[in-house]
Structure 1
Amino acid sequence: MNDLETAKANAAAAYNAAADLFDHPANTFWDRFGRETIERLGLQPGQSVLDVCCGSGASAIPAAEAVGREGRVIGIDLAENLLELARGKAQSRELSQVEFKLGDMMSLEFPEDAFDAVVCVFGIFFVPDMSGAVRELWRRVKPGGKLALTTWGPNFFEPANGAFWESIRREAPSLHKSFNPWGRISHPESLAAMLAEAGLQDADISEQAGNHPIKSPEDWWTTLLGSGYRGTIDRLDAVGHARVREANLRYIRESRLTGIEANVIYATATKPDVRGAGDE
C-alpha cells in the first residue's frame, strides 16, 4: 500500500470507529466550526456545494439549510458510519437537497467547474500531498465560486493533548506520534504557503483563538474516542487501554482542567470569473 492508500485506510478505520461518540454532547466542536465555515461563505438559495470530508454533516447540514430546496449539497467522506449519521440528520430535518456519498477527495467523480462552493473542514491534512488535494478541489469550483478550508491552529487541544500522547508513549512507544498531520498547516504562514503551491495566491486566511470546555474527566475521554485519536486507542490491548484511560482521567482530575485550546484557521479563496458578458 502506498502512502496515500495507507492514509486513507487509517482515516477510514479511525473515524468509522469514532462514529459511536462523534456526535456526543462532549464533542460540540465539530458542529461549531462546521457551521461557522459555512456562515463565512455567505451561500445563497439555489447554489451548489461540495463538502469533502463531511463527517456526520457538521458543515453539509448548515450548507443545505443555506441553499434551500432549490440548491444542492453533496457530502463525501471515507467513513460510512459517519455518513449514516449525516443521512439521519438530513432526513430528520427534511433536507432532501443534501446527499451523502462514500468518496475520496483525490478521486472525485465530479466534472470541473461544477459547484458554487467546495468545502473541506478538518480534512485536507489527512492526505500526504495537500497541495495536490487542493488542486483537485479547486478544479471543481465554478468561476466566481469559492473554496473554503478549515484546519486546526497551533496548540491543538492543549494541554490535554500532550498528556494523552505522553500516556501513549509510556504504554506503547510504537504508537506515539511525534507530530500530528495538521501540524504542517497549523499557522497562517504555512497554510498560505501550501495554498500557494497549489496555485492559490490570494486566499483570505484568518485565525480564530478558541476554547473547548471539558466538563469532566469522562468528557475528555469521550472526546478522544469520538475523534481521530480513536485510531491510536483502538490499537492498544485491553490492559493498555485501561491504563491509558485511567492516566487521562487522572490528569484531568488532578490538573482541574476545565477547557482545552481549540484554535482554528479559516481559508477562503474565490475563483476568478474571466468569462465575458456573452458567456453568461
Structure 2
Amino acid sequence: MTPDSQHKQQLAGYYSSRSVTYDTESSFHPRLAHHLVEQIRLRPGQQVLDIATGTGLVAIAAARQVGSQGFVLGLDFSDEMLKQAQRKADFLNLENIEFRLADVEAVSLPAEHFDTVFCCSALVLLSDIPVALKCWHTLLRVGGSLAVNGFSEYAFVASMVMHRVAAPYGVSLTAWNYPTGTPERFHQLLAAAGFQNIQITAKQFGGYLSLEDLKKWWRLPSDRPNPFDRPLLALSETQLQQLQREYFAELEAIATPQGVWNDITAYTAICRK
C-alpha cells in the first residue's frame, strides 16, 4: 500500500469512527456547512457536486435549494458517513440527491458537468490538494463556481499546543491547516488550479473551551485514529507520559477564568472557472 493510499484509508477509518456523533459533537460542523452554502446562490435545476460530503450537511441543504429539477451528488471516502447522510436524505424524502463512496481527490465524472462544486471542512485533509483542485476544476462548467473553506494556521488550540510540545521530542506533526493558513496562501492554491474571480472571506467559529474538556482530548497514539497523529507512535511510554504532562501544563498556562480560547478562523473561498 502506498503512503497516499494508507493516508486515505486511515482518514476514512477516522471519520467512520465519528459518523454517528459527527453532527452533534458540537454546533461547529453544522454552522460551518450552513455558512458555506449561504455564500452561493443556488438556483432550481442546477447540478451540484459535494466533495467529502460526510453526513450530507452541505449536500442536503443544496438539494433543497435546487429542487426536483436539479440534482446533487455527494462523494466521500467513508461509507459510514455516507450511511448517515443517506438516512437523513431518506427522512426528508429527497429524491434529487445521491451519495457515492469515492476517492474525492481523483473524481471520475464527466468534465464540465456541474454548476457548483462544494468542499466543506475537508480540503486541508487531502494528501495532494493541488491535484484535487485541478480535478474539480475540470468537472465545472465554464462559469461554474467552487465554494470551499479552509482554516487559519493558528486555528484549533489543542492541535497548536500538541505541535509545540511534541517538537522537542523530534516529532513533526503535519500542519494540516498550513495550505489555507492565510488568505494569500489560499488564493495562490486556487489560482494555480485555474480558478478565477477568487474571493476569500474570514469568519470566526471559535469560542472558549473548558480546561477539563481540552485535557480529555489527550489520548494515547494507539487510540488516535486520526492519521495526522501517527508520528506519536514512535515515542516510548515514558516519553508519552512526559508529553502528556507538558501538554496539560501548557493548557493550564493559557487558561483564563472563561476557559481556553479556541480560535477557529475559517476562510471561505468562492471562485469561478
- TM-score between the two structures when normalised by the length of structure 1: 0.78
Secondary structure of the residue that 1:203 maps to in structure 2? strand
The Cα of 1:199 is off from its aligned counterpart by: 1.8
Partner of 2:177, secondary structure, is helix
Taking the aligned partners of 2:173 and 2:218, their CA distance within structure 1 comes to: 20
For the Cα contact (< 8 Å) 1:217–1:253, is it kept in 2?
Answer: no
Q: What are the equivalent positions in structure 2 for 1:73-88 lying under 5 Å apart?
A: 73-88=72-87
Distance 1:167 1:99, change over 3 A: farther
Distance 1:43 1:216, change over 3 A: farther
Tell me how far 1:182 sits from its aligned partner: 2.1
Amino acid at match of 1:205: I
Structure 1 counterpart of 2:175, which letter?
N
Which one of the candidate residues 260, 265, 268 is aligned to 1:266? Answer: 268
1:147 aligns with 2:146: yes
AA aligned opposite 1:6: Q
- Count of residue pairs the alignment pairs up: 261
Partner of 1:276: none
* Partner Cα distance (2:122, 2:101) in 1: 15
8 Å Cα contact 1:152-1:265 kept in structure 2? yes
What's the CA shift for 1:115? 1.0
Counterpart Cα distance in 2 of 1:82 and 1:168: 31
1:77-97 CA distance string (max 9 Å, x none): 101111111112212222222
Partner of 1:136: 135
Q: Give the Cα–Cα distance (whole angstroms) in 2 for the partners of residues 91 and 258 of structure 1.
A: 40
Residue 36 to residue 87, structure 1, CA distance change in 2 (3 Å): same
Q: Which amino acid aligns with 2:178?
A: G
Task: State whether structure 2 residue 125 is matched by structure 1 residue 126.
Answer: yes
1:190 deviates by 0.7
Match of 1:89, SS?
A: helix
- Aligned position for 1:161: 159
Greater length-normalized contact order (CA 8 Å, ≥ 6 residues apart):
1
Question: Following the alignment from structure 1 to structure 2, what is the Cα–Cα distance between the partners of residues 208 and 109?
Answer: 33
- Whether the 8 Å CA contact 1:217–1:249 is kept in 2: the answer is no
In structure 2, what is the equivalent of residue 204 of structure 1?
Answer: 199
Shift of 1:17: 2.0
The alpha carbon displacement at 1:181 in A equals 2.0
Counterpart amino acid of residue 113 in structure 2: A
The residue identity in structure 1 corresponding to 2:92 is R
Question: In structure 2, what is the Cα distance between the partners aligned to 1:28 and 1:250?
Answer: 28
Equivalent-residue separation in structure 1 for 2:65 and 2:214 (angstroms) = 32
Q: Unpaired segments of 5 or more residues in structure 2?
A: none
Alignment partners' CA distance in 2, 1:44 and 1:223? 45
> 2:28–2:205: 8 Å Cα contact kept in structure 1?
no
Residue in 1 that maps onto 2:92: 93
Per-residue CA shift, 1:118-175, capped at 9, x if unaligned? 11112223333322211110111122221111111231112x33334467679xx58x
Q: 2:16 — aligned with what?
A: 16
TM-score after normalising by structure 2? 0.80
